[in-house]
Amino acid sequence: MAYLMAIDSGNTRVKWGLHDGCSWLIQGDVAQDRSMALRQAWQDLPEPLYVMGSNVANTKTKAALSEMLSCWEVKPKWITALAHQCGVRNYYADPSLLGSDRWAALIAAWGLQRQGCLVVDVGTAMTVDTLSDTGEFLGGIIVPGLGLMKKLLATNTTSLQRQEGELHDYPDNTADAIHSGAIQALIGAVERMNAMLTVTLGYVPECIISGGGSQQLESRLSMNTNVVDNLVLEGLVLIAKENSRIPV
Per-residue pLDDT of the chain (248 residues; tens, 9 = 90+): 789 999 999 988 999 999 998 999 999 999 988 888 888 888 889 999 999 999 998 889 999 999 888 888 889 999 999 999 999 999 999 999 999 999 999 999 999 999 999 999 999 999 999 999 999 999 999 999 988 888 887 776 655 666 778 888 899 888 888 888 989 999 999 999 999 999 999 999 999 999 988 888 988 898 999 999 899 999 999 999 998 766 65
**Residue after which a domain boundary falls, among 51, 78, 105:** 78
Residue 86 in any domain: the answer is no
Give the model's pLDDT for residue 240: 94
Residue 236 in any domain: the answer is no
Residue 13 in any domain: the answer is yes
* Domains of the chain: total: 2
Same domain (yes/no): 71, 135: no
Residue 104 in any domain: the answer is no
Same domain (yes/no): 60, 136: no
Same domain (yes/no): 214, 143: yes
Give the model's pLDDT for residue 230: 93
Taking each helix axis as running N to C, give the angle between helix 146-155 and helix 174-201, from 0 to 180 degrees, rounded to the nearest 10: 130
Give the model's pLDDT for residue 223: 92
Strands 13-19 and 136-144: unpaired
Residue 138 in any domain: the answer is yes
Same domain (yes/no): 162, 56: no
Same domain (yes/no): 74, 10: yes
Residue 54 in any domain: the answer is yes
Range of the domain at 61: 4-78
Same domain (yes/no): 139, 192: yes
Active site residue 101: yes
Same domain (yes/no): 122, 223: yes
Which of 217, 41, 188 lies closest to 121, judged by CA?
217
By CB neighbour count within 10 A (0-12 exposed, 13-18 middle, 19+ buried), where does 181 fall? Answer: middle
Angle at 121 between CA 79 and CA 5, to 5 degrees: 40
Instruction: Give Cβ neighbours of residue 162 (< 8 Å, ≥ 6 apart).
Output: 150, 151, 154
Residue 244 in any domain: the answer is no
Q: Which domain CATH number covers 19?
A: 3.30.420.40
Question: Active-site residue among 29, 44, 94, 101?
Answer: 101
Contact at 8 Å (CB) between 146 and 190?
Answer: no
Whole-structure pTM value = 0.92
Residue 133 in any domain: the answer is yes
Give the model's pLDDT for residue 155: 72
Same domain (yes/no): 133, 224: yes
